[in-house]
Structure 1
Amino acid sequence: MAKILENHLVADDFCLMKVEADNDAKMGQFYMLRAWDKFPVLSRPISVFDSDGKTVSFLYKVVGQGTEIFQSLQPGADITIDGPHGSGFPDAQGKIALVGGGVGIAPLYLAAKRLKQAHPDSTVDVYLGFSGQPMLVDEYEQAADKVTVNVGGFVTDDIDPTGYDVIMTCGPEIMMRVLYKKCVDAGARAKVYVSMENRMACGIGACLVCTCKTRSGNKRACKDGPVMEGWEVFG
């Protein structure tokens, strides 16, 4: 059980929630959240937006009954958070691009912060794609070397993959697939890591709801991922 410290709208249908909880969350991991007893039946998987060891923050989109309940919660309320779960983004250095679309931008904030803290001489560029109102751009600009914002178009058009050593991405599967193909077609040297946003029921690999096909067989996004190498999923 965790105590909510902040919970507010940051853009149309998007909220940022900060809770008090000791944690060792890594960039790219997620928690299973619930603020109800029996219904809805399932907890909701939400990526870690930020963490400082004593608090953890979640950026979520209000799309259904569960997230509508989250949005109604006020500071001081209790919420159950289970995690952190999954494999996160790897440590990396050099020229790094973080590419996100929609709510898929969420794990890229902590990634930018952690990568710059660990490797101050590295260059971390962030590419944010939105279909509507941009959000949290100032926060990303403070964490990264450069932020490129695309509204209503294709954020994958904005990146030259040949300029990077590592590319990490999260967002709609079609966006990540296009980005991976662009890297291959350009002969980019960059290693590509993708975060799969599959539906999840348990978060620990038992239910197989989040299974996705890879070149090495079916894998569970929650347990074997959500972060995987691009060639495994899209190669």
Structure 2
Amino acid sequence: MKEGYREVIVYSNKQIASNIYEMKVVSDKDELRFEGKSGQFYMVRGWESLDPYLSRPISICNIEEDRLTFLYEVRGKGTHLISTLESGHSLEILGPLGNGFNINIKGNIALVSGGIGIAPMIYLAKSLHANVDFYCGFRNEIYYIDEIEENVENIFISTEDDSKGYNGFITEILKPEQYDVIFTCGPLPMMKRVVEMCKGKVRVYASMESRIACGIGACLGCTIETKSGIKRICKEGPVFYGEEVLFND
């Protein structure tokens, strides 16, 4: 086992949409409880071989004392191997890592997600004590909306194939001037557009994504450009003040 990692047990691991999985893990020690806040992540390793060499960063989707939920998309060999784990299998995790969202914010708040970017927003919606509207953009399949229906005021859905909700991008129906703060997570073009729409109107925070190798800021493999210099997503982020990020085309 790698230094700092601990072993957990798969409670459930199921496919909920095309290439989208929900995995719940429990501790192998009764007295151990999971920690973390929305926007933070864990490095996850569910295989014994040296290939893939790197663990995979997966956002916290929910925490229920003795149970930690991950919502992830199968994109490569690592996440594919994780998706094959069955109940009772063990895996190694390191975390919680990174800086998450500030949940001590009041007023009218909008959460804007795109695709698998919905994962950290689920726990954020459950953690906030404010008036929250949830904007969810999908290409086609809708998933996990029922997990936050009781925690938000309104849910706005868009699909690019016109299968449900608004036909188009979720940013096309967002009205920034109605909110005091906006949190966003999803594809870079979507977050860039959200930041542009909010400029001079409302404060926005973006949860950035990158290939994260170590998870602790040592390898400098997940850097982004900001107005105040190079920052590490795994250490200074993943959550950044939106207008500080330089979204390079």
Q: Does TM, normalized by the shorter one, top 0.5?
A: yes
| 2:24 counterpart of 1:13 | no
Q: Provide the rounded CA distance (Å) in 2 between the counterparts of 1:48 and 1:132.
A: 24
Q: Partner of 1:51 in structure 2?
A: 63
Aligned CA RMSD, in angstroms, stands at: 1.1
SS in 2 for 1:225: coil
Q: Identity percentage over the alignment?
A: 45
**Residue identity in the other structure for 1:82:** L
Q: Provide the rounded CA distance (Å) in 1 between the counterparts of 2:65 and 2:229.
A: 35
TM-score of the superposition, structure 1-length normalised?
A: 0.94
> How far apart are 1:53 and its partner, in Å?
2.5
Unaligned ranges ≥5, structure 1: none
Of 126, 129, 146, the residue aligned with 1:113 is 126
**Residue identity in the other structure for 1:7:** N
Q: Provide the rounded CA distance (Å) in 2 between the counterparts of 1:142 and 1:135.
A: 16
| Matched residue count | 227
Is the contact between residue 7 and residue 74 of structure 1 (CA under 8 Å) also seen in structure 2?
A: yes
TM-score of the superposition, structure 2-length normalised?
A: 0.89
> How far apart are 1:132 and its partner, in Å?
2.0
**Residue identity in the other structure for 1:161:** P
**Residue identity in the other structure for 1:126:** F
| 2:99 counterpart of 1:87 | yes
Unaligned ranges ≥5, structure 2: 1-6, 28-32, 161-167
| 2:9 counterpart of 1:3 | yes
> How far apart are 1:63 and its partner, in Å?
1.3
CA offset digits 1:71-112 (Å, max 9, x no partner) = 111111101111000000002111010111011110000000
Is the contact between residue 225 and residue 246 of structure 2 (CA under 8 Å) also seen in structure 1?
A: no
Q: Partner of 1:223 in structure 2?
A: 235
Instruction: Compare the two structures and name the one with the higher helix fraction.
Output: 1
CA offset digits 1:128-173 (Å, max 9, x no partner) = 1111201011112122111111111211111100000110000111
Is the contact between residue 180 and residue 234 of structure 1 (CA under 8 Å) also seen in structure 2?
A: no
**Residue identity in the other structure for 1:177:** K
Is the contact between residue 109 and residue 143 of structure 1 (CA under 8 Å) also seen in structure 2?
A: no
Of 146, 158, 165, the residue aligned with 1:150 is 158
**Residue identity in the other structure for 2:35:** D
CA offset digits 1:37-87 (Å, max 9, x no partner) = 211000000001001232111000011111111111111110111100000
